[in-house]
A and B are shown apart, each in its own frame.
Chain A
Amino acid sequence: MSGWTLATVVAGAVSTLAIFSLLYKENPVYRFFEYLFIGLATGYGLFRAWSDVLYPRWWIPMYQQGQWWWMFPFLIGLLYYTIYIRKLAWMSRLVIGTLMGLGAGASFQAIATQYAPQIAASFRPLLPPNWSPLSAVRGLIRAAAPEFVDRYVPASVPNNLTAAELVNNWIVIIILLSVMTYFFFSFEHRSPVVRGAAKFGRWMLMISFGAVFGQTIMARMALAVSRLWFLLVDPRGLAGPG
């Protein structure tokens, strides 16, 4: 193990034990290392933004390759800081407005590509395979207009659903509608049907929160496992990027 690796391993071990010291009781060592971690993470992020993005993609083209026009994004970016000067504060709104416009446009695209498929996926077949809900009605109409019915009204609703999928689809639709009813605040929930649906929706929400809480416990345990693995088994492997 090289001297540098050893130093990172020791620093990692001391930091881990210092953070774990909170389990014994609140103490200044824990506080110090907590602030140290926050400061280091922020500083590291700034450094990487410069070293990986700004330096190779902005500074080098501008100063070493003669692409002087890269100065303009910098100057436009500086307008953000005019927010601190009352007389010039309107200039900051130019940048903020532009970015808000860009963000709104991008969000609009996200609605189409991210949420629209969700809405489409909530339209699920709820009928058993080859079930024709209107077969009787269809037969009556067909007596009067056979060509029209044969051409435009299907004899059955074909699908390949299994019984389990059918039940699953009903569960999804009932829970979806009841949860949406719970969040429908445009009118008072006076009707017993609406009140019942909203109450059922709330129960379903509580169950899902319970599942999230259970997952959270598992996540926190995984973090503890990784730290103990570092301390007891493989300090070099988990010392962090080196």
Chain B
Amino acid sequence: MEAGLGSDRTRRTLYLLLAAAIALPFFAKTVIPPVVGREARALYEAVESVPPNKIIVLSLEFEAGTIGENLPQTRALMNHMMKSGKRFAIMGFDPMGPVFGQREAEDLAKRWNRPYGKYWVNWGYKTAVVQTLKAMIRDIPGTMVTDHRGTPLSKLPVMDGIKDAKDVGLIIDVTPSALYEAWMAYFAGPGGVKMGVAPTAVMVSDIFPYLDSGQIVGMLKGLAGAAQYESLVFGRDARERGITWMTSVSMTHILIIALIILGNILEIAARRRRTAT
């Protein structure tokens, strides 16, 4: 293709600029502090309000394709739950979600000294969404039976007193799909359990009506939501993963806006040259 605004060379240069804008904050000493939204704060407060006799269910439905958003969300939520000593259970209706969750939880358990089985448990990958959720309302240990390693749940202290939906203080669905609707329809709604959602940014507009109606108590809006949540847990200037990554995304937004303005200026100039000739 000929040289010009639409040429291969221009396109590749833009990709390189984008890569540089992303990579720069990785090595910078400062971050862009996030402004905490109402939805992230509401979810933070919902986690804080869970009493010690109840468990938080963290349903991880994502695969490798969306770890850019769902993994920082998971990490931010786990950081908060481990820091405040909340009991939580990982599970998922996607095979990879609980595996990613286990890896993050193992990493953070060392940081906060929260051993597996006492503070948190991994119920593992489950199939048959509707049947599992409906069964969980009446009998959680009978539905899950063992953890992801095959250990009977009765042997894990974290499960003490956890019998049915009444013992779940909050369910948070970290998801790039509409599975949160199943959680709402078949578990949170009928079981009277509070629910939060950590969706990918693409899904955010669809979820606002559920926030307005009170069916969802809070939401993490993609990577931005993860960064906001981390700022609530660690402070606005913390160099945690979500805040650092969101700084990179902000840099790309600045670059894209600058390029749009530049592109328009060049186009107007070219049009004037064409008119003059």
Contact = CB atoms under 8 A, between A and B. Distances in A.
Interface residues of B, number: 60
Given A114-B184, A224-B18, A56 B150 contact: yes
Interface in A217-242: 217-219, 221-229, 232-233, 237-238, 240-242
B64 interface: yes
- Could you tell me the dominant secondary structure of chain B's interface residues? helix
B205 A211 contact: yes
B116 interface: no
A238 B245 CA distance: 13
Contacts of B215: 114, 117-118
Given A224-B68, A241-B100, A52 B213 contact: no
Contact of B205 (A113, A117, A215, A221): A215
B32 interface: no
Interface stretch (B34-42, B119-127, B265-273): B119-127
Interface residues of A, number: 48
A118 B213 contact: yes
A53 B127 contact: yes
A1 interface: no
Nearest to A48: B95
A53 B125 contact: yes
Given A121-B213, A222-B69, A45 B95 contact: yes
Interface string B167-199: 000000000000001101110011000000000
Contact of A215 (B71, B184, B204): B204
A242 B103 contact: yes
A113 B71 contact: no
Contacts of A242: 103
Contacts of B222: 215, 218-219, 222
Contacts of B145: 57
8 contacts: A52-B148, A106-B130, A117-B215, A118-B215, A121-B214, A215-B222, A221-B22, A240-B100
Interface of B: 8, 12, 15, 18-19, 22-23, 26, 63-69, 71, 95-96, 99-100, 102-103, 107, 124-127, 130, 145-146, 148, 150, 181-182, 184-186, 189-190, 200-202, 204-205, 209-210, 212-215, 221-224, 245, 248-249, 252-253, 256
Given A102-B130, A242-B103, 12 more contacts: A41-B64, A45-B95, A49-B127, A113-B189, A114-B184, A216-B202, A221-B22, A222-B69, A222-B245, A223-B69, A225-B22, A241-B96
